[in-house]
Amino acid sequence: MRLYRRPCRKKRRPFRTSSICWAARNTALLNIFEFDFRYDWVATVLRSLESTFTSIAEKGRNEPWFDGLFQMEHAEAVYGVAYVAAQAYILGTTQDANRIREAAWKNHVSKIDYYADARQCDGTNTSAISLINSIANYYKHNDEWGDTWPCNHTTNTLAAVGIDSSVEFPCRKAAVVLFGEDDAWRLDLILQEISEWRQEIIARYR
């Protein structure tokens, strides 16, 4: 009769490199930067700004001195702030896309290339995303430029769609180029434009 029982040794599992390789190959599928965390705040900003157009029109009806020119000047500022908010979303998207590419051991893509890979504005060779980015730059820097605009990527992009220093309300003109005269006031279309572009960029460049 055996009184001593040899302890049972658990077999070591072999190191499963295959699962690690699978995870590495599919990191892009699991990457947190695919989630659009910016959507809610930019949507809130754009919806709030769009409601300002109603306030401007109401003030025009109630205040005789607040004529069409004053209304356009106020609306120009609303458009400008909307474009800057959209620009922040756009730039963040390019950073997210490149972080996803990093995780998949791929090279970065330049933001200009990302901007160009978008819907083309009707009758132009300029993408909607490039135009939004450039008109946001205009709004931020036009006070520095004065009447003589510099020659750079921003102004070249704007000139390609007919926006230069001779245009009285460039931000409004950009909205017309982007969405047409009837829908130029609809800032929700900016949200739609940039969010759909983000989905396409993340899917295409991952």
pLDDT tens string 51-87:
999 999 888 888 888 887 888 999 999 999 999 999 9
Residue 23 neighbours by CB under 8 Å, 6+ apart:
30
pLDDT band at residue 12 under the 50/70/90 scheme: very low
Q: Is pLDDT of 10 > 90?
A: no
The predicted pLDDT at position 29 comes to 52
Reading the block at residue 4, the tokens are 């001593």
- Return mean pLDDT, the chain: 87
Residue 127 backbone dihedrals phi, psi, to 5 degrees = -80, 155
The phi and psi torsions of 120 (rounded to 5 degrees) equal: -85, 135
pLDDT score, position 61: 85
Task: Assess whether pLDDT exceeds 90 at residue 7.
Answer: no
User: From residue 25, how far is each of 5, 21, 99, 135 by CA, in Å?
Assistant: 47, 6, 15, 39
| pTM to 2 decimal places | 0.83
Q: Catalogue the long-range contacts made by 98-106 (C-beta closer than 8 Å, 24 or more residues apart).
A: 99/31, 99/33, 100/28, 100/31, 100/33, 100/34, 100/202, 100/205, 100/206, 101/28, 101/205, 101/206, 103/27, 103/28, 103/31, 104/27, 104/28, 104/206, 105/24
Tokens of 31: 């990457």
Question: Which amino acid does the sequence have at 42?
Answer: V
- pLDDT for 131 beyond 90: yes
Alpha helices for 66-109 (secondary structure H):
68-103
- Judge whether residue 165 has pLDDT over 70: yes
Helices 188-205 & 128-145, crossing angle to 10 degrees?
120
Q: What does the pLDDT look like over 13-48, one tens digit per residue?
A: 443 444 344 344 444 455 888 999 999 999 999 999
pLDDT for 18 equals 43
- Asked if residue 101 has pLDDT above 50, the reply is yes
pLDDT (0 to 100) of residue 5: 53
* Confidence at residue 135, expressed as pLDDT on a 0 to 100 scale: 98
CB-side exposure of 143: number of CA atoms within 13 Å? 3
Percent with pLDDT over 90 in the chain: 72
